């Protein structure tokens, strides 16, 4: 039986899968703290609601975003940047909850990045049809720190390419509780998310939430 068929029949996927040098998918790694993550997320969104930001080129993003932590990633007509305050309210972004920080740090350590202390957490909300085109995470000052990405809710197809935009991306299914880490040699690899398929998740409803942790400053 091929590995794919084996997975499709029994839904047993390896708990740890290498995507590239320095890039690993940790399946189900966030599951033990899912209830705490969801509760903390609700509190953040009550203070800093999701919004559809505009790219510098004037396109409104299909993914809705908010942030927590000392620095929040924003985009508007003036470009991409990190900002300590939410431009919608003028107030600092909500603090990063300890459960977020600890999970990100533990996931990074699993992949050999000890001492990861994120100061930024971009929170992406995908409704069915929402997608994120291939891009590099390169607005951070410190590329020695990895990116840690936590998936909640509906599953998505994550596209993970290479250092060149033209490198053909591989496709990985990211499900509720999965954590992807990329750093070191793959820190600047292109990645994106295919349009979200319709579905319903027991805890999260008709959406996918992604928490992306970075060391921005
Ligand atoms: C991102 O690259 O910011 C988002 C990745 C994801 O949603 O899995
Ligand atoms: Fe990204």
* Residue 38 CB partners (closer than 8 Å, separation 6+): 152, 203, 204
Domain at 107, CATH number: 2.60.120.590
Give the residue numbers spanning the domain of 80: 2-214
User: What is the phi/psi pair of residue 208, to 5°?
Assistant: -120, 135
pLDDT, tens digit, 9 for 90 and up, residues 55-69: 999 999 999 999 999
Residue 191: CB within 6 Å of ligand 1?
A: yes
Q: How many domains does the chain have?
A: 1
pLDDT band at 191 (very low <50, low <70, confident <90, very high): very high
Residue tagged 């047993």 (tokens): 12
Residue 193: CB within 6 Å of ligand 1?
A: yes
Mean pLDDT (the chain, rounded): 95
d(CA 104, CA 211): 9
Residue 124: CB within 6 Å of ligand 1?
A: yes
Q: Distance from first CA to last CA of the chain, Å, rounded? A: 48
Verdict on whether the full-model pTM lies above 0.85? yes
User: How many Å lie between the centroid of ligand 1 and the Cα of residue 209?
Assistant: 9
């Amino acid at each position: 039986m091929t590995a794919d068929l084996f997975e499709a029949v029994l839904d047993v996927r390896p708990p740890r899968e290498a995507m590239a040098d320095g890039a690993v998918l940790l399946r189900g790694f966030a599951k033990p703290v899912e209830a705490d993550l969801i509760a903390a997320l609700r509190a953040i969104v009550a203070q800093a609601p999701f919004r559809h930001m505009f790219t510098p080129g004037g396109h409104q993003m299909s993914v809705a975003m908010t942030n927590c932590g000392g620095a929040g990633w924003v985009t508007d007509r003036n470009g991409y940047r990190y900002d300590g305050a939410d431009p919608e309210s003028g107030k600092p972004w909500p603090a990063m909850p300890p459960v977020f920080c600890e999970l990100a740090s533990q996931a990074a350590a699993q992949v050999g990045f000890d001492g990861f202390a994120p100061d930024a957490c971009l929170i992406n909300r995908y409704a069915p049809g929402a997608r994120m085109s291939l891009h590099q995470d390169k607005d951070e000052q410190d590329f020695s720190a990895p990116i840690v990405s936590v998936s909640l809710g509906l599953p998505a197809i994550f596209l993970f390419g290479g250092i060149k935009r033209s490198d053909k991306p591989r496709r990985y299914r990211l499900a509720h509780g999965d954590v992807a880490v990329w750093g070191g040699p793959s820190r600047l690899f292109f990645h994106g998310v295919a349009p979200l398929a319709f579905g319903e998740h027991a805890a999260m409803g008709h959406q996918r939430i992604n928490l992306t942790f970075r060391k921005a400053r």
